[in-house]
Amino acid sequence: MKNYEIAVIAGDGIGKEVVPASLKVLEAVAEIHGGLNFKYKEFPWSSEYYVEHGKMMPDDGLDILQNFDAIFLGAIGNPDLVPDHVSLWGLLIKIRREFEQQINIRPAKYFKGLRSPLVNPNDFDLIVVRENSEGEYSEVGGKIHKGEEEIAIQNAVFTRKGTERAMRYAFELAKKRRGHLSSATKSNGIVHSMPFWDSVFNEVKKDYPEVKTASYHIDALSAFFVTRPQEFDVIVASNLFGDILTDISGAIMGSIGIAPAANINLNGKYPSMFEPVHGSAPDIFGKGIANPIGQIWTAKMMLDHFGEQELGQKLLETVEEVTKDGIKTGDIGGSFTTVEVADEICNRLKKLASV
């Protein structure tokens, strides 16, 4: 029996709906396998926790999480209760940073049964490798002066180590896929960091002659994601560019509610964290209509991380079949609830288990 201990943080908003739905699906997956045992420990860390305790997680929160095989997180953010910069730096970003989750992997592909806004959504299949620890999301900066002289400054920090790490990861991934890597840049303008990004890219690519490369300015690339996503295989992007690109890649699938993500710790010192691209969606929270697929596909990425790729593939195929059969939430043109979609996925997985 393979045992995995998973820390579960549903967080805020629809995180509280899609996480329990996905845990049911994970249980059905374990049933198919027969030799897998997931042990979950749920933590109530969230904006509500902040209201009660004055912090997003206890002081020893990271020590507690450290011992798990993975962290499965829904979403953080309830701006009515806690300002976003407080809740996010206090939990989500803290975990990404302190646990050195330097890479954020965000796939998107044409998904059967989806209602993509694209005229021709067929056959696109791409992965954005987002640098996840620095870049535009640096802690360097602040608000200075007051009154009319008020000014906010944000310094982007691009280290050679962090930049090269994200690029090498992306080249290795491209080698295993269709052998094409695109770099998201903005070197035509006045952004100092991007000529540096380009020089590292041009240097690193010499080590991967088998990978075809291209560089795109982020503004043009954002448009190409909409007009011709089929041209892309792996895309490497800085923290902020990758953030924006992956809401677009979610949207062209049909909904950001489908898009999965994995925050990977590469040195094996800390657990990785599995958390979808979407946020806490306060506009739909409480109605039971959130699409659970982003969170379920994120669970598939966790299975991959555990070395259970075959099982993960079965799970994704089952999700695709259920979607194709029209059992889907409103954001992708259906009328089913979060729980109904997850239950149908569970039922079909259980049928597979009994074959």
**Contact of residue 298 among ligand NAD, ligand IPM, Mn ion, none (CB under 5-8 Å per partner type):** none
Options 76, 126, 252, 346; binder of ligand NAD; rule CB under 6 A: 76
DSSP one-letter string for 227-287:
H-GGG-SEEEE-HHHHHHHHHHHHHHHT-GGG---EEE-SSSSS-EEE--SS---TTTTTT
Q: Which does 59 bind (CB under 5 to 8 A by kind): ligand IPM, Mn ion, ligand NAD, none?
A: none
Is the alpha carbon torsion for 337, 338, 341, 344 positive or negative?
negative
With contacts defined by CB under 6 A, name the span among 153-161, 167-175, 249-257, 303-311 that binds ligand NAD. 249-257
Q: For ligand IPM, give the closer residue by CB, 29 or 127.
A: 127
Q: Which of residues 38-97 bind ligand IPM (CB under 6 A)?
A: 88, 93
Which 91-130 positions form the footprint of ligand IPM (CB under 6 A)? 93
Which residues would be at the binding site for Mn ion (CB under 5 A)?
A: 243
Q: What are phi and psi of 305, to 5 degrees?
A: -60, -35
Query: Strand pairing of 125-131 and 234-237?
Result: parallel
By the rule CB under 6 A, 331 interacts with ligand NAD: yes
Placement of tokens 């075959």 in the chain: 310
State yes or no: residue 77 binds ligand NAD (CB under 6 A). yes
3-state SS, residue 87: helix
Contact partner at residue 271 from ligand IPM, ligand NAD, Mn ion, none, CB < 5 to 8 Å by partner kind: none
Task: Count residues binding ligand NAD (CB under 6 A).
Answer: 23
φ, ψ at 269 (rounded to 5°): -80, -25
CA distance 122 to 109: 9
**Comparing C-alpha atoms, which of 78, 23, 80, 39 is closest to residue 56?**
78
136 lies in the binding site for ligand IPM (CB under 6 A): no
CB 187 within 8 A of CB 219: no
Among 277, 293, 341, 349, binds ligand IPM (CB under 6 A): 277
Query: Is 295:74 a contact under the CB 8 Å cutoff?
Result: yes
- Contact with ligand NAD (CB under 6 A): which of 186, 278, 314, 328? 278
Strand partners, 70: 6, 272
Task: Find the shortest distance in angstroms from Cβ 197 to Mn ion.
Answer: 20
Q: How far apart are CA 229 and CA 234, in angstroms?
A: 11
Q: Residue 57 binds which one of ligand IPM, ligand NAD, Mn ion, none, with CB within 5 to 8 A depending on kind?
A: none
Measured between alpha carbons, how far is 168 from 187 in angstroms, rounded to an integer?
Answer: 20
As measured in angstroms, the least distance from the Cβ of 77 to ligand NAD is 2
CB of 92 to ligand NAD, least distance (A): 5
Task: Give dist(CA 221, CA 329) in Å, integer.
Answer: 29
CA quadruple 11, 66, 55, 98: dihedral, nearest 10 = -100
Beta carbon nearer to ligand IPM, 166 or 277:
277
Q: Which one of ligand NAD, ligand IPM, Mn ion, none interacts with residue 291, CB within 5 to 8 A by kind?
A: ligand NAD
Tokens of 133: 């620890």
Selected from 132, 291, 298, 318, the binder of ligand NAD by CB under 6 A is 291
Residue 243 lies near ligand IPM (rule: CB under 6 A) = yes
Residue with CB nearest ligand IPM?
243
Q: Nearest distance from residue 152's CB to ligand NAD, in Å?
A: 18
Binding site for ligand NAD (CB under 6 A): 14, 18, 75-77, 79, 84, 92, 255-257, 275, 278-284, 290-291, 294, 331
Binding site for ligand IPM (CB under 6 A): 88, 93, 243, 277, 279
